[in-house]
A = this chain, B = another copy of it.
Amino acid sequence: MSQPSLNELKKVNVFQKASDDDLEFILQNSLVRSIEENSFFFLQGDEAAYLYILLSGRVKITQSNTNGQQVSLRIVYPWQIFGALGAATHKVAVYPASSQTLENSAALAIESSFFRTLMESRPYLAFGMMNLMTGYIQEIQERYRELALERVEQRVASTLIRLAGQSGVKSEKEAGIELIFSRQDVAELTGATLYTISRLLSDWERKGIIQSGRERICILKPHELTLIASNSN
């Protein structure tokens, strides 16, 4: 895959207010990396030398414990930034999480030190990054609360709603919102096991709330999920 155009780069939130000159400058200091499904742009613990902008495909950001079990922190879609914490500060030397592709993917890799220097003279970039980080903090804090206080059923409902909002493609004919994720993916995103997710989705399919298949979940009644997600008790 070749370098993106300046107009494409403006789809990146952080670059919204960037001048063409700035974008050119950034492109001159970056390179495109294409990798196939299930491989990694970087691993937890790698030196955080680059920040990435996803050009195509999908990436999940995961963290593992010493036993190799893993959780997904978020899903990255095209024109979103990932691996950016290393650029925000001099302290972070390594990535705190891994980035694994869910499909064949390409990303623009920008040197962290270059980007950091650029931010010093470009307040709009620093504010863009703070904006980004604020969003991360709010989402992960909310998910932390859910994990601590809600049951699996509610968390899965919340997760599906969130995924639908981030990626959902409404099929034509009111056929519902289609999500391309395996049971295992959903399990890692909700802090549950593959088995529990499978049972739950089967149950919801029987009730007509969703319709599902291999690595695919189609939300038929989003409102029902919203109800389940907010179910007090």
Q: Which residues of A contact B (CB under 8 A)?
A: 63-67, 69, 71, 73, 85, 88-89, 91-92, 96-97, 119-121, 123, 126-127, 129-131, 133-134, 136-138, 140-150, 191, 230, 232-233
Contact = CB atoms under 8 A, between A and B. Distances in A.
A140 B138 contact: no
A89 B130 contact: yes
Contacts of A144: 63, 71, 73, 140, 143-144, 147
Contacts of A142: 63, 96
Nearest to A140: B140
6 contacts: A63-B141, A71-B149, A73-B141, A91-B131, A130-B130, A147-B147
Of A126, A141, A150, A191, most buried by chain B (CB within 10 Å of CB) is A141
Contacts of A71: 144-145, 148-149
A89 B136 CA distance: 13
Given A66-B232, A120-B123, A126-B127, 15 more contacts: A63-B141, A65-B145, A69-B149, A71-B148, A71-B149, A88-B127, A88-B130, A89-B127, A92-B138, A96-B142, A97-B141, A119-B123, A130-B130, A130-B133, A137-B137
Contacts of A143: 144
Nearest to A125: B126
A1 B134 CA distance: 31
A134 B88 contact: yes
Contacts of A123: 119-121, 123, 126
Contact of A232 (B67, B92, B129, B147): B67
Instruction: Report the 3 A-B pairs with minimum CB-CB distance, sorted nearest first.
Output: A148-B191, A126-B126, A88-B130
B85 A134 contact: yes
A164 B164 CA distance: 41
A198 to B, nearest CB: 18
Contacts of A145: 63-65, 71
B67 A134 contact: no
Contacts of A92: 134, 138
